[in-house]
Amino acid sequence: MSVLDQNYNPTLSVDCVIFGFDSKSLKILLIEQTKNIYKLPGSLVIKNEDLDVYADRVLKELTGLKNVYLKQFFTFGAPNRISKPEDILWIENNYKVKVKRIISTAYYSLIKIAPGTTKLYEKKHNAQWLNVAEINNLAFDHIEILKKGLKTLQNELKFNPAVCFELLPKNFSLREIQNIYEVIQDISYDNRNFRKKLMGAKYIIPTKEKQKAVAHKPAILYKFDKKIYDATFKETNLFNL
């Protein structure tokens, strides 16, 4: 058995659903496995490595970013989840292990997409940001992992609105918050009611800045105050739009 064989646990993997938002659409960071076939970032787990540490390392290596929102959300363990001959062959060729049954622990992450933020790392790992709404097929069972990750994000947004600010720039408009909610929840909200609820949130603080280089009247920019959020947000006053 080679050194490479001994480094990997052939029955355990980590897969990461990395979401990003470009002010208009929800994106997912995917790796091109073969021509026009994409997979989620992840790998078989190295022996004796903590799962959370490994997921964080995968994220850092792929994006170059530190201290990014990362959360474990599900474990996929169906006996036949890796059954396609081409998938088995790809794993065996890349990891030099014999595939039997692989259990995958999945994480989802939220990243602020900014010009050039992850460009170098995307090129190195043959990764691309693609629209979540346009994804209907992935390698392995990764489409099911993506769907579960999106559902988890939708539920998290209902009960913990702080997660939406992980996708926004430091200063943002109220419209950008509404865009995130509408895109993730796949729902259109009444502008007036939505804005009213936003204005009632003490942790959304107006700044002295306004939007720049926009065709319409520049909107006031706001910032998120995590300390105020932690001190004032309760389940009895859920920001559940």
Q: What is the pLDDT of residues 14-69, one digit of tens each?
A: 999 999 998 889 999 999 888 889 999 999 998 888 999 989 988 888 887 878 89
| Run of H or E including 150 | helix 142-159
- Residue located via tokens 């920001």: 239
> Beta strands of the chain (E only): which ranges?
8-21, 26-34, 37-39, 42-46, 69-76, 103-112, 127-131, 204-210, 220-224
* Per-residue pLDDT at 236: 42
Residue 59 confidence (pLDDT) = 86
pLDDT at 48: 86
Three-class secondary structure of residue 206 per DSSP: strand
Q: CA 69 from chain center: how many Å?
A: 8
* Main-chain phi, psi angles of 239, to 5 degrees: -80, 60
Q: In the prediction, which pLDDT does 181 show?
A: 94
**Structural domains in the chain?**
3-159 (3.90.79.10), 170-237 (1.10.10.10)
Beta strands in 113-216 (DSSP E): 127-131, 204-210
On whether the CB atoms of residues 19 and 132 are closer than 8 A, the answer is yes
Indicate the pLDDT class of residue 118, thresholds 50, 70 and 90: low
Rg, C-alpha atoms of the chain = 20
The set of residues, in sequence order, having a beta carbon less than 8 Å from that of 186 and lying 6+ positions away, is none
**pLDDT at position 132, please?**
97
Q: Which residue has the tokens 């942790």?
A: 203
